[in-house]
A = this chain, B = another copy of it.
Amino acid sequence: MSRSSSSYSIGVDLGGTQIKAGLVLSTGEVVDSLSKPSQANDGASIVSGNIASVIHQLIRTNSHLLLEDLVGIGIGTPGLIIPDRGIVHFSPNFDGWHDIPLVDLVRQKLDAQLTHLPIHIENDGNAMAYGELRQGAGVGMKDVICLTLGTGVGGGIILDGQIFHGSRYVGAELGHTTIFGDGRLCGCGNYGCLEAYVGRDQIVERTRAKIIKSASCSPILEAQMDSLTPKIIAEAAAKGDELAIEIFTETARYIGIALTSFAHILNPQMAIIGGGVSSAGEKLLFEPIRAEVRKRAMDTNAESLQIVSAKLGNQAGLVGAAMLAQQNQPS
């Protein structure tokens, strides 16, 4: 896979509100990026037109790059994606989408000079994991899991350098691994999923419940009781607020319980943790996660597993999608 350093691809991160797209060199460098509303409720034709439009705009404003060096387009988006068929089977963000042939639709909207390009589509959690593997925290690794701590808890699994999909493309739902079989009802219908404890709203809810129940007071958090976010809680913890520290200690423990299962089932080399909540950082989050896994997991499984912070931030999906388009290109 040695390639001309001038070759590049376009990565698209298609969300329910925004389309983010970037022009990404084979070195992983994001040369330029821009975003545009996705107009999720206006149908697949409009959405794919918007995708084509950002692609055209990126190419126009970067005319110093040769079109012949553009090797392909990658699209990452939430939902049940069937990459081999270029289809969005189901999406939580696009109401009524069912078996939408997004790759074909986008191709139809592209300028004639671009229609020959391969277009890859992938689930966004998988794209993020692939981005981190190729250009982020996982460079040099082959077997990696990726957790994204946001509104929900996203996941991706890389085995032997390739995205793992499962038999019907719904594997790697790592946020829906059970950590307490009799635990909280999760949005997915299961009980005690990791997401039911460490999703953004669940962290806030746990904090509120603790403030109400707690004998100790937490003036910083109480003052912001109605506008709490994981970020505010992390900042309070950094200032020494005991209740906030306790929330992150628990959060780390929950993640450590899930990582132990992943270590025993998948025995990956690395767990990459990203998403907004992960910015709580080493001391509040990563160190106690590692301690929990060391306490719980069998020795070889624990020793195999590096637990690290994601590196690409909210560009992981875009970079991953772009890298998919550069995979297996002739050098």
Which 8 pairs from chain A and chain B are nearest by CB? Answer: A166-B267, A171-B267, A173-B264, A181-B257, A143-B167, A176-B264, A190-B296, A167-B269
Whole-angstrom distance between the alpha carbons of A258 and B264 in the complex? 13
Q: Is the CB of A298 within 8 A of B181?
A: no
Among A168, A172, A269, the most chain B Cβ lie within 10 Å of the Cβ of A168
Q: Is the CB of B298 within 8 A of A176?
A: yes
- 6 of the cross-chain contacts (CB-CB < 8 Å) are A142-B167, A168-B300, A172-B265, A177-B264, A180-B180, A190-B264
A324 close to B (CB within 8 Å): no
A97 close to B (CB within 8 Å): no
Question: Which chain B residue has the least Cβ–Cβ distance from A173?
Answer: B264
Total identical chains: 2
Q: Using an 8 Å CB-CB cutoff, how does the interface string of A245-285 with B read, 1 for contact, 0 for none?
A: 00000000110011011101111110000000000000000
Whole-angstrom distance between the alpha carbons of A173 and B297 in the complex? 11
Q: How far is the CB of A296 from chain B (nearest CB, A)?
A: 4
**Contact residues in B for A181 (Cβ distance below 8 Å):** 179-180, 192, 253-254, 257
Q: Is the CB of A189 within 8 A of B298?
A: yes
A148 close to B (CB within 8 Å): no
